[in-house]
């Protein structure tokens, strides 16, 4: 399967199953598409008629395409479906936990998928004892994995910061005993992000996710405290101080865009103006009937925004002022292997969320939905049927993905998004698919436009 598209004068051909990417001129762009289903002679005749090239020229192009086909870089067949057949059921080990250390929040954002941190339940704080048992549970069930990930999440984890620090100390002690490497992540709204937190996080947190929606009026539309006051003026200085001290360590400034700010590139520009360079901007996850939900009618604008963002990245790269956008980060040579590409994020199998009282859920987005409770850190994963369902949920499990060129980039998509959109983790969230495909097209275009490679025929065009 191939996917061909154009971006600002680039002609791009993606070969789905080999993972190959080709930049081609207009002639090859047509011929590669025709040759997928038509015989060589017909393709040659069509190329001569349309592009006015010589027969020798057209034949040479066909020969080049044939060489790529022989090398497995064009029209590569799907050789992976058998890998998807239960390969993850064989030996499921847990390697990541999302610790819900605080089911409470000091902000009251109405669009919050976690219902202001409470996950549709009561406010709660994780005790040190529960957190400690969660770390033991992770290590006990991690098997051969050396690298383990623990995210302090909420609600707002800084409302339970002392426990977070104690758990880091406990994790550091245990990783030595068990020969593991624990990578801690903190996700915070910034209200309580002070010098002490900054110093500790810069020493111990592998990654820190900071929540800011961009422009003041955009941020303060939803990200307000319980008195209704916007958070922007309080959190931005905290974030700026934090990032100034972060050095080369990883962080993300993460925003959410909604129907009200589908011109979200302006929010990304605001983040850049504030001095943040590691950015992520996510479409809101909410009930489709909510006025903040992205609508189908919004999609053309959303797509334009992703294109504008790609151009902005190239422009800033050329000016020596690059920035990172999470969804445009692609490592073409050292990216994920085919197993990861098929399996996806690992929710419900190698990645679980832990509630303040120790219950296990497939991921943070399922917390609060009793039907998705998998077990507890005390009794382990009890709902094996549910675990098997998540283990079987991958790039090959949805009929809708069969002919999608992007399935080995998205692994079939987010199970939680699918569930909320269709009622089944093996369904699809169609709008999410549309957005994902657009992002991958733009991400690859950015890589090509900053690669230093020149597209054939570009000079004449």
Partner 1 sequence: MTRIVTVETRDLEKSAKEGGCGECQTSCQSACKTSCGVANQPCEQLSK
- Kindly identify the residues of this chain, within the stretch 55-94, that bind partner 1 according to CB under 8 A: 60-61, 64-65, 67-68, 72-73, 76, 79-80, 83, 93
Q: Can you tell me which of 185, 188, 261, 270 binds partner 1, judged by CB under 8 A?
A: 185
- Smallest separation, CB 116 to partner 1 (Å): 16
Q: Interface residues for partner 1 in 321-340 (CB under 8 A)?
A: 326-340
Letters for 98-117 (x = contact with partner 1 by CB under 8 A, - = none) are x--------------x----
- Smallest separation, CB 269 to partner 1 (Å): 19
Q: Can you tell me which of 35, 351, 361, 396 binds partner 1, judged by CB under 8 A?
A: 351
Phi, psi of 335 (to 5 degrees): -80, -170
Q: Interface residues for partner 1 in 5-64 (CB under 8 A)?
A: 17-25, 27-28, 60-61, 64
- Smallest separation, CB 209 to partner 1 (Å): 6
Q: Can you tell me which of 95, 223, 387, 438 binds partner 1, judged by CB under 8 A?
A: 95
- Residue number, 177 or 334, with CB nearest to partner 1: 334
- Smallest separation, CB 227 to partner 1 (Å): 26
Choices 99-107, 122-130, 382-390, 402-410 (CB under 8 A): range interacting with partner 1: 402-410
- Residue number, 265 or 363, with CB nearest to partner 1: 363
- Residue number, 151 or 213, with CB nearest to partner 1: 151
- Residue number, 380 or 456, with CB nearest to partner 1: 456
Choices 197-205, 222-230, 266-274, 413-421 (CB under 8 A): range interacting with partner 1: 413-421
CB crowding 372-394: b at 16 or more within 10 Å, else e: bbbbbbeeebebeebbbbbbbbb
364 binds partner 1 (CB under 8 A): yes
Q: How many residues bind partner 1 (CB under 8 A)?
A: 92
Q: Interface residues for partner 1 in 416-445 (CB under 8 A)?
A: 416-417, 432, 435-436, 440, 443
User: 155: phi > 0 → left, psi -120 to 50 → alpha, else beta; which?
Assistant: left
Dihedral sign, Cα of residue 267, residue 120, residue 224, residue 151: negative
Letters for 212-251 (x = contact with partner 1 by CB under 8 A, - = none) are ----------------------------------------
> How are beta strands 147-154 and 96-103 bridged, if at all?
parallel
User: Are residues 183 and 150 in contact, defined by beta-carbon separation less than 8 angstroms?
Assistant: yes
- Smallest separation, CB 168 to partner 1 (Å): 15
- Smallest separation, CB 206 to partner 1 (Å): 9
- Smallest separation, CB 61 to partner 1 (Å): 5
Q: Interface residues for partner 1 in 133-162 (CB under 8 A)?
A: 144-147, 149, 151, 153
């Amino acid at each position: 399967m191939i996917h061909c598209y154009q971006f600002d004068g680039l002609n791009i051909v993606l070969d789905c199953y080999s993972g190959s990417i080709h930049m081609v001129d207009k002639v090859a762009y047509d011929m590669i598409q025709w040759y997928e289903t038509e015989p060589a002679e017909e393709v040659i005749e069509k190329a001569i008629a349309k592009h006015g090239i010589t027969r020798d020229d057209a034949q040479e192009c066909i020969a080049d395409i044939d060489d790529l086909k022989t090398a497995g870089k064009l029209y590569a067949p799907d050789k992976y479906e058998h890998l998807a057949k239960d390969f993850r059921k064989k030996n499921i080990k847990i390697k990541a936990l999302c610790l819900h250390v605080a089911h409470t929040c000091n902000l009251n954002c109405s669009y919050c998928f976690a219902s202001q941190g409470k996950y549709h339940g009561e406010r709660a704080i994780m005790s040190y004892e529960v957190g400690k048992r969660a770390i033991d549970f992770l290590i006990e069930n991690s098997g051969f994995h050396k690298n383990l990930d623990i995210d302090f999440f909420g609600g707002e984890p800084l409302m339970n910061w002392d426990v977070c620090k104690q758990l880091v100390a406990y994790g550091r002690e245990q990783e030595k005993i068990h020969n593991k490497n624990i990578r801690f992540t903190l996700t915070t709204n910034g209200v309580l992000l002070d010098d002490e937190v900054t110093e500790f996080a810069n020493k111990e947190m592998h990654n820190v996710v900071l929540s800011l929606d961009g422009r003041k009026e955009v941020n303060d539309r939803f990200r307000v405290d319980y008195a209704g006051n916007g958070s922007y003026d309080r959190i931005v200085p905290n974030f700026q101080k934090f990032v100034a001290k972060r050095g080369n360590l990883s962080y993300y400034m993460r925003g959410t865009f909604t129907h009200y700010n589908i011109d979200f590139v302006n929010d990304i520009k605001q983040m850049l103006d504030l001095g943040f360079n590691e950015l992520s901007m996510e479409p809101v996850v909410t009930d489709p009937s909510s006025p903040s939900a992205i609508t189908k009618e919004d999609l053309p604008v959303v797509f334009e925004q992703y294109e504008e963002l790609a151009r902005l990245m190239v422009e800033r790269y050329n000016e020596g002022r690059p920035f990172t956008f999470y969804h445009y980060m692609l490592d073409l040579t050292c990216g994920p292997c085919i197993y990861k590409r098929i399996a996806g994020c690992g929710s419900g199998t190698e990645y679980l969320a832990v509630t303040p009282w120790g219950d296990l859920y497939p991921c943070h987005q399922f917390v609060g939905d009793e039907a998705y409770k998998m077990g507890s850190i005390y009794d382990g994963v009890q709902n094996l049927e549910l675990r098997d369902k998540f283990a079987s949920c991958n790039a090959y499990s949805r009929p809708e993905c069969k002919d999608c060129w992007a399935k080995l980039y998205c692994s079939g998509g987010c199970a939680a998004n699918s569930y909320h959109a269709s009622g089944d983790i093996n369904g699809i969230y169609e709008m999410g698919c549309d957005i994902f495909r657009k992002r991958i097209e733009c991400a690859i275009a950015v890589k090509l436009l900053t690669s230093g490679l020149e597209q054939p025929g570009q000079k004449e065009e």
